[in-house]
Amino acid sequence: MTAKKALITGITGQDGAYLAELLLEKGYMVHGLRRRSSSFNTGRIDHLYQDLHEKDVRMLLHYGDMTDATNLIRIVQEVQPDEIYNLAAQSHVQVSFETAEYTANAD
């Protein structure tokens, strides 16, 4: 039986990390969307990540941004997930007020 595939946006956040761990425990192949960043933002999922050279890798990360529709479509077409979980969000309150349009588009 082929494992179900899930795509999680916001996988590096608190809820995304918990969901990724749960789905991996249930045997899913998990694909996560993460923004490019000058700092490492994968601390919550580092314990789940496997070296791509290992066998049976069940979690892959893809770079993307919720405001880039073309890239999102490409990722969905490539991954062909059975389930999509949209947990991406602008979580910094002050920044959300300062960049309201971006926040609305990204959430």
pLDDT mean over 81-98? 84
pLDDT the model gives residue 21:
96
Q: Are 87 and 9 in contact (CB under 8 A)?
A: yes
Task: Report the half-sphere exposure of 8 (CA within 13 A, side-chain side).
Answer: 26
Range of the domain at 71: 5-106
pLDDT band at 107 (very low <50, low <70, confident <90, very high): low
Q: Which amino acid is at 79?
A: V
The span from the CA of 107 to the CA of 105, in Å, is: 6
| Tens digits of residue pLDDT in 4-18 | 999 999 999 999 999
Strand partners for 7: 31, 84
Share of the chain above pLDDT 90, in %: 50
pLDDT at 34 (0 to 100):
85
Longest dimension (CA), the chain: 48
**The predicted structure's pLDDT at residue 33:** 94
Per DSSP, what are the bridge partners of residue 63?
A: 34
Domain count, the chain: 1
**End-to-end C-alpha distance for the chain, whole angstroms:** 35
CATH (domain of 82): 3.40.50.720
The Cα–Cα gap between 9 and 83 comes to 11
